[in-house]
A and B are shown apart, each in its own frame.
Chain A
Amino acid sequence: MKTLRITFLLVLFAAFSSSAYAQRIAVKGDTVYTSAGNPIVKGVVLVKDGKIERVGTQSSVRIPSGYEVMEAKVVTPGFIDVHSVVGLAGHMSQPHDQDQLETSSAIQPELRAIDAYNAREELVGHLRRLGVTTVHTGHGPGALMSGQTMIVKTTGETVEEAVVTPSKMIAFTMGSMISGAINKPGTRSKGVAMIRQELVKAQAYAEKRKNDDSYTKNIRMEALADLLDGKLTAMVTVHKANDIMTALRLQKEFDFPMVLDGAADVHLILDEIKDAGVTVFVHPTMIRPSRDAQNASMETAGMLHRAGIPFGFQSGFEPYVPKTRVVLFEAGVAVANGLDRSAAMEILTIEAAKILDIEERVGSLEKGKDADIVLFNGDPFEYTTNVTGVIINGKVQTN
C-alpha cells in the first residue's frame, strides 16, 4: 500500500513536472499563419495533449473552460531548420564540445548523430528561443563523408526525448572544404574517386545483403547500403558550380537520394538543378562570401523560389563567431532581397517538413499535428520584433 502511494505520488509529480505535463492552451493571434491555407485574421489555435485540437477564427471557435489563454500579434507554426550542427557542435568551440567532425579518416558514414547529440547544449536553447522547434542536425561539413544526421525537437533533456528521426542523412562534402583528415584527398578529383570507390564497395555489399544470408556485417557498409537502398539521403555540402555538377553526376551513376547543401553557385546553374529535380538546403543568406562560397548571393533564395526549385533555410555550420546562425533571421534577409514573403513563411515550416519527410507531424497548424507554435509581437521577419512565446509538443517553453 505504501509503495502504491509513493508510486502514485511519483506519477502525479511526473505529470505536473515541466517535462511531462501536457497543457491545454488556447493561442489567440491577430494574425495566425497556419501554413495550411491563407493566414487567419483574429485566429485561435486550441492545444490539447501535445497536439493541435482545433484551428479557426476567434468568432467560430469557442475556447473551452480550463484552457490557458495566450495572446500574440502574430502566431506561426514552429520553424524547421533543415541543416544545423547544434548539439554536436557546442557554443564553446573547444575540442571537448566539437563533435560534428571526426578527422581520423575522410570517410566515416557509420558515425551516428544520436550517439553525440547533447540535448542540453545552450545553442539548442538559443534556436528554440528564436522560434526553431525542429532541427535537422548532426555531422558537419569537412570530410568526404563525416557521418549521419538526425531530426530532433529543440526540447528535452536527453536525445531520446528530443528525437524525431534518429537517422536521416549522410553528410558529404565536396570541393576544397575538406579538413585535415589522415587520408584527406589532395585534389578535388581524388576526393571524388575516393567516394566512388567506397560506393562501388557498398553496391556489392548491398547486393550481398539482399541475396546472401551469410554476409559479414560491417557498419560502414550498412550505412552506405542504406543510402543506395534509398533509406538514407546524401546531404552534399558543395558550393562551386563544377563541383555541384559532379555531385549530380555521382548521384546519377549510383542512384541515391540527394540534397545539395550550401550551393553558393546554384544561381549560375538553375536550369540544371531544376532538371535534376534535386532539393537545395540553401546557404545562410548572410553567409560570408569567401572561398568556395565567394559567389554567394543574398538573392539566391528568391531565385530558387521563382525557378520552382524546392529549398529550405539552414543555420549551417560556423567554426567561429557567431557559433550558429538562426533561420528566422536568414529568411528575413532573403525576403528583403526578393523572396516572396508568404513563400518564406511556408519554406520555414511546411516546405521544410516535406523536405525532411516529417510533414505528418509538424510544419503547419492543423488538427492532429504536434502543437509546435511560436508567438510574436509583430511581423516575425522584422529585426525589431520579439518572440514572445514558444510551444513545443503542446508545452510552453519557459526559457
Chain B
Amino acid sequence: MTKLSYYFSVLMLLVLSSTQLAAQSNPLVFKGAKIIPISGDPIENGVLVVQNGKILAVGDANTRTPRNATVVDVSGKVLMPGLVDTHSHLGEGDGGDRSSALHPDVRIMDTINPRSDTFKKALAGGITSVNIMPGSGHLMSGQTVYLKLKKANTIEEMLLVVDEENNIYGGMKMANGTNPIKGSGAFPGTRARSAAMVRDLFVKAQNYQAKIKAANGDKSKMPPRDLQMEALVQILEGKRVVHNHTHRHDDILTAIRLSQEFGYRVVLQHVSEAYKVADEIAAAGVPASIITLDSFGGKLEAMDFSNVNGAALEEAGALVGFHTDDGITDSRLFLRSAAMGVRDGMSREKALEALTIANAKMMDIDDRVGTLEKGKDADFIILSGDPFSVYTLVEETWIEGLKVWDRDNPEDRKFATGGEDTFRGNIHTHHTEGE
C-alpha cells in the first residue's frame, strides 16, 4: 500500500465512523406525524425524539426537544413502532434433521445467513424484531433465535436476547398435529404417540434436573453434560419459551395440557381453530399467535381455519398476536394480516397491539420493543397512511435510531415490490420441505 492510499484509507475510515456516530449520538426529532405509540392513544401532530438508538421522548407538538437536534419533517405520515413477528422462517436457516423427531440441542442460529436478502423483505414490511424458527415437521425441531433485523455480517450483531451463561438466544420450536406425524423411522404415527414422545422427553429432563439439584454444586456428583437436557431444563425453569405449532382445537388443548403438566411457558402458534376453544385458551392464560390466510384448507389440520380467530381470542381475553410464518404469508404484507383480523371483527386497538407489544411480550422483549416509550429501542416505521388501509405503504423502517430501509431508495424499494433478481429462490415453505 502506498503512503498516499494509506492516509486516504484512514481518512475514509474517520469520515465513515464519524457519520455513523453522528447518526447515533445527535438527537433526531420526528415532527408532524400521527404517532401511534401503542402504549397510549394516537397523537395527532406528534413528536418523537431519539438518540443513541433509544427513544428520548414521545408526545404532542409541545414536547420539548433538544437544541442540537436534527429535525425530520414527517407531516402527514403515520409513525408507529417497528413490527414484531413471533414466527418466521427468514434467513435460510435449518433445524433438526430426520434422525430424530426431537432436537432440543439444534440451534437455528448456527445456520442463518445474516446477509440474506430475505431480511430485506421483512424490513420492507415494517418488521424490525423477529423470532426465526426451524420448521414444523418435527415434534421439536430446535432452538429458535430472536433477531433485530440490523444490517450485519454476523449473526451475533443481530441477536436480540443474549444469555451467554445459559446459551439462550431465543425459544424452542415444537409442533403437534399432522406435520410431525410421518409414521416412519424416528417419527410418530399418531397424535397420542406424539404426545407420549414429548412427555417421555420432558420426564427425562426432570430426572436430569433432579440430579443437578441433588449434586448441590458438587461437580463430582453432576450428571454428564447433555446439550439436549440442558435446553429442556431451561424450558422447565421458565428461562426458555416454547413456541408450539398447533392448529386443530384438540391439538391446541393438548399443547396446553403438556405445558401445564411440566409447568413450562408456551406460545400457541397458528391456532387455526382457536375460535372453537378461545375461552379455554384465555382461561389457561396462554398467549396465542395467529396466522392470517386467504382461505381455509390446504391440509387437514387447517380445514376449519377462520380469520375470526383474532376477534374470538380478543373477546375471550387472551393475549393475541399475529405472525407471518414467512414464506407461508409474506413479511411485506404483515400489516395486512392484522387488517384482515379487523375485517373479521377485531378491534383496531387490539389488532395494532397484535403486531407489536403483544408479540414482544410473547418473546420477553417487551422492555425493549413493541411500543414507542421513553427508554425503549428507537425501532419505528413511517407509513404513508392508516396502518390498516390497503393503499398504505411502508415508507421507512428504522432500527435503534438508524434508517435501515427506505422506499425512496430503488435498491430498497425493490424488496417491497419484487422484480428481476430481487428474491433469489430462498422462499421457505413447509410444503417445499415436503412437510
Contact = CB atoms under 8 A, between A and B. Distances in A.
A338 B212 CA distance: 62
A299 interface: yes
Given A290-B425, A295-B419, A383 B300 contact: no
Nearest to B421: A295
A326 B299 contact: no
B333 interface: yes
A265 B423 CA distance: 13
Contacts of B333: 286, 333
A291 B343 CA distance: 32
Interface string B366-393: 0000000000000000000000111111
A92 B305 CA distance: 11
A325 interface: yes
Contacts of A117: none
A337 B343 contact: no
Contact of A319 (B327, B426, B431): B431
Contact of B391 (A91, A289, A290, A335): A335
A324 interface: yes
B348 to A, nearest CB: 9
Contact of A324 (B294, B300, B419): B294
A99 to B, nearest CB: 15
A384 B422 CA distance: 30
Interface string B35-65: 0000000000000000000000000000000
Interface string A148-163: 0000000000000000
Q: Among the interface residues B299, B343, B419, B422, which one has the most CB atoms of the partner chain A within 10 A?
A: B419
Given A91-B295, A93-B299, A337-B417, A320 B427 contact: no
A288 B295 contact: no
B328 interface: yes
Contacts of A332: 390
A289 B424 CA distance: 8
B427 A295 contact: no
A33 interface: no
Given A92-B303, A290-B327, A267 B419 contact: yes
Contact of A322 (B294, B339, B417, B419): B294
Nearest to B389: A382
A163 to B, nearest CB: 23
Interface in B399-432: 416-427, 429-432
The winner among A92, A320, A385 for most chain B CB atoms within 10 A is A320
Contact of A294 (B303, B340, B424, B429): B424
Contacts of A291: 425
Contacts of A386: 343
A322 B295 contact: yes
A182 interface: no
A288 B419 CA distance: 12
A329 interface: yes
A122 interface: yes
A289 B418 CA distance: 8
B420 to A, nearest CB: 5
A42 interface: no
A377 to B, nearest CB: 10
Interface in A287-303: 288-291, 294-299
Contacts of B431: 319-320
A120 interface: no
A383 B419 contact: no
Interface string A311-332: 0000000111111111001001
Nearest to A320: B431
Contacts of B276: none
Interface string B291-318: 0011111111011010000000000000
Nearest to A337: B417
Interface residues on A, range: 35 or more
A324 B339 contact: no
Contacts of A286: 294, 330, 333
Contact of B294 (A267, A295, A325, A381): A325
A336 interface: yes
Nearest to A324: B295
A123 interface: yes
A291 B424 CA distance: 8
Interface centre among B327, B389, B426 (most CB of A within 10 A): B389
Nearest to B326: A288
B259 to A, nearest CB: 25
Contacts of B342: 383-384
Contacts of B299: 92-93, 320-321
A325 B295 contact: yes
B115 interface: no
Interface in A73-111: 90-94
B124 to A, nearest CB: 11
B298 A298 contact: no
A307 interface: no
A379 to B, nearest CB: 8
A384 B388 contact: yes
Contact of A323 (B295, B423, B427): B295
A91 B298 contact: yes
Nearest to A91: B297
Contacts of A333: 333, 336, 390
A295 B420 CA distance: 5
A329 B423 contact: no
Contact of B427 (A123, A289, A382, A384): A289
Interface string B4-24: 000000000000000000000
Contacts of A337: 417
A126 interface: yes
Contacts of B420: 265, 267-268, 295
Contacts of A288: 327, 330, 427, 429
A91 B294 CA distance: 12
B419 A299 contact: yes
Contacts of B336: 333, 383
A384 B343 contact: yes
Contacts of A290: 327, 423, 425-427, 432
Interface string B333-377: 100100110110000000000000000000000000000000000
Contact of A297 (B390, B418, B427): B418
A329 B343 contact: no
A121 to B, nearest CB: 10
Given A297-B418, A332-B390, A126 B300 contact: no
A390 B319 CA distance: 35
Nearest to B293: A322
Contacts of A385: 343
A186 to B, nearest CB: 21
Contacts of A92: 297, 299-300, 303
Given A297-B422, A321-B293, 5 more contacts: A92-B300, A320-B298, A320-B430, A324-B295, A335-B391
15 contacts: A91-B297, A91-B298, A123-B295, A290-B426, A294-B423, A320-B298, A320-B429, A321-B298, A322-B294, A323-B298, A326-B294, A382-B389, A383-B340, A383-B389, A384-B339
Q: List the 5 closest pairs (A to B, CB-CB), nearest first.
A: A91-B297, A321-B298, A383-B339, A290-B427, A320-B431
